[in-house]
Amino acid sequence: MFVLVGDAELDEGSNNEAIVYAGAVGLDVGPEEGGERVAAVGSALEREEGEQRDRLARVDDERAAFRRDLREAIKLSRKEAATQIDDLCNRYGRNYSDELRNKARFLLERYAGKMSREAKVRMLRFHGVPEPGILDFLANEIHRMINSRNGPRDSNEVRIDAAKQLLCIKLVKDAGGASKGLQAQRVRPAASAASNSAPGNDQVP
């Protein structure tokens, strides 16, 4: 017997959990070879989930170090600070997978006008976008305000304002949250602040 299951059912329903559980406990679901296939699939999914957890943990640990250096950078003169911020973004890594970048863009477009800027940042963190990539996103939003009333005067101030805003949005562990890491940062759509793209760094989600 064969059962066809679509991606949505596998992602949203309990089928994925059932496969992982069956593989973990070596559940026999029919003919011997069928049970072996389920066990193999379950093991593969467990490995993939383990690798994903490790990757998110590494990104999460790098956030704190990046933010410490960022706090020092904004203490410099305006031009030096902007240069240092860009150097930090390059050093810590503003490049990440196309899959994650496309997912971030999709989410930002989907919730445009429905989420506050802080909620967007926490959403990007939850999905594993590195802190330099999030800073680029903020800079892209702020860039459209150049020369507006109370807006930045140039690209240097854009980078500095983006850095300050990012630092104001604390990590969960910095805010005293009970749960450390990205998994504690799930958010729901909140009010205001549309996401708009502006000319600038093409690394922005």
Distance CA 35, CA 195 (A): 48
Contact 22/29 with Cβ under 8 angstroms? yes
DSSP H or E run through 98: helix 98-110
Residue 199 lies in a domain: no
Whole-angstrom Cα distance, residue 65 to residue 201? 22
The answer to whether residue 136 is domain-embedded is: yes
Domain presence at residue 99: yes
For the ranges 39-48, 74-83, 113-122, 181-190, the lowest mean pLDDT is seen at 181-190
pLDDT of res. 147: 83
pLDDT digits (tens, 9 = 90+) for 188-201: 333 333 333 343 44
On whether the CB atoms of residues 30 and 123 are closer than 8 A, the answer is no
User: Cα separation of 104 and 152, whole Å?
Assistant: 25
Structural domain containing residue 169: 61-185
Residue 112 belongs to a domain: yes
Is residue 24 situated within a structural domain? no
**pLDDT tens digits along 96-107:** 888 888 999 898
In a domain, 178, yes or no: yes
Residue that has been written with the tokens 């020092």 in this structure: 72
Number of compact structural domains in the chain = 1
Question: Is the whole model's pTM more than 0.85, yes or no?
Answer: no
DSSP codes of every residue in 168-204: HS--TTTTT-SS-SGGGG-----S-------SS-TT-
What confidence score (pLDDT) does residue 10 get? 62
Assigned domain for 172 exists: yes
- pLDDT tens digits for 106-162? 988 888 788 898 999 999 998 889 999 999 999 988 998 888 888 888 999 999 999
The answer to whether residue 191 is domain-embedded is no
Give the rounded distance of the alpha carbon of 37 from its chain centre: 33
